[in-house]
Amino acid sequence: MESGHVQVWKNAIDLSAYEFSPKVREEYRKEYGEDAFIVGHVGRFVEAKNHRFLLEIFKEIVERKPNALLLLVGDGPLFEQIQERALALGIEQSVRFLGARSDVPQLLQAMDVFLFPSKFEGLGIVAIEAQAAGLACFASTSVPQDIGITDLVQFIGLDAEPKSWATSVLESDLRRREEDTREALQKAGYDITQSTEQLCEFYSHLDADHHTLR
């Protein structure tokens, strides 16, 4: 790295696809309730994503905010177990299991809060996408700090009680949806357009150097 022989390319995304749109938000919230307080999560139903703890957090939220609704996007081996857990906690009426979806950017628009209490992550690219949508994110400290690109991200330890997580969510200022996060995400290297241009330039230089050496 120090010698310059290694370059790191971020897992960039199409920022324009996630840019906050009041029109899209209004359209999608018609299905889930225009007055609902929508908490969301996107991820496979596997142990690392910590869905059980997520449900406990949401239980605390919905007890204090009855109009709260949880959208769980994704599929995986623990899908049915998490459905059963929601039933056991008595919150099944306030949880929507959406399965694998191709409209994640639009679903993020509908949400008010993004919960990300993973036990571990390689990075957590969905948290980058959530920030691109201007969405407040509450992530565990087990998630790499690299996702904290904007002030929309708040880290909370998994040793904190679900009630503490719920308090952090409900007491936070969540009215910043139209805040422009594009510049910060671009500077951090997550704009696919810029990343593509830089990668093409990188290979062009390599090709030029190769011909020079020949």
In a domain, 1, yes or no: no
C-alpha 172/C-alpha 113 separation (Å) is 10
The single residue listed with the structure tokens 């307080």 is 37
C-alpha 71/C-alpha 161 separation (Å) is 21
- Which tokens sit at 140? 């565990």
pLDDT at 199 over 90: no
Query: What's the whole-model pTM score?
Result: 0.88
pLDDT at 57 (0 to 100): 98
In a domain, 147, yes or no: yes
Q: What is the pLDDT of residues 63-93, one digit of tens each?
A: 999 999 999 999 999 999 999 999 999 999 9
In a domain, 7, yes or no: no
pLDDT at 189 (0 to 100): 87
C-alpha 62/C-alpha 192 separation (Å) is 37
Domain range for residue 200?
Answer: 15-213
In a domain, 114, yes or no: yes
Q: How confident is the model at residue 128 (pLDDT cuts 50, 70, 90)?
A: very high
Number of domains in the chain: 1
Q: Which of 52, 55, 46 is nearest to 166 (CA)?
A: 55
Tell me the pairing of strands 37-42 and 113-116.
parallel
